[in-house]
Amino acid sequence: MHNLFGDTDSVHVEATPDGRFRLSQPLRGDTVDTVLRFVHFKAEDLLAAYRDKVEAASWLQPVERELYLKELSGGLEGYTYLED
C-alpha cells in the first residue's frame, strides 16, 4: 500500500521515437473498502452501524435517510483519492 490513502491509479508512459508518448498497462488504484480492510475494518460493518444510527434519527425524513446511506455506500466503494 502506498500510504493511508492506498495505491493511486497508475500507467506506464513510454516515449516513442517520433517524440510522442504511449500509455500502457493502466492499473486502478485502491478503493476505500480495500484500504479499510488493510487496517482491519469492514465497509459492510461500518455501513450497517451507520444505517442503524440514520434509522434511529427520527428527525430525518425517509428521503434524507436514503440519501445519507447512498452517499456513504458510494464513498466506501469509491476511489480513495479525489473524484468528480
| Residue with cell string 460493518 | 45
Considering the domain boundaries, does residue 3 fall inside one? no
Confidence of residue 18 (pLDDT cuts 50, 70, 90): very high
What is the mean predicted confidence (pLDDT) over 3-13?
88
Query: Is the pLDDT confidence value at 84 over 80?
Result: no
Considering the domain boundaries, does residue 72 fall inside one? yes
Considering the domain boundaries, does residue 51 fall inside one? yes
Considering the domain boundaries, does residue 84 fall inside one? no
Count structural domains, the chain.
1
pTM of the model: 0.69
Q: Which residues of 13-37 are buried (b: 16+ CB within 10 A; e: fewer)?
A: eeeeeeeeeeeeeeeebbbbbebbe
Considering the domain boundaries, does residue 82 fall inside one? no
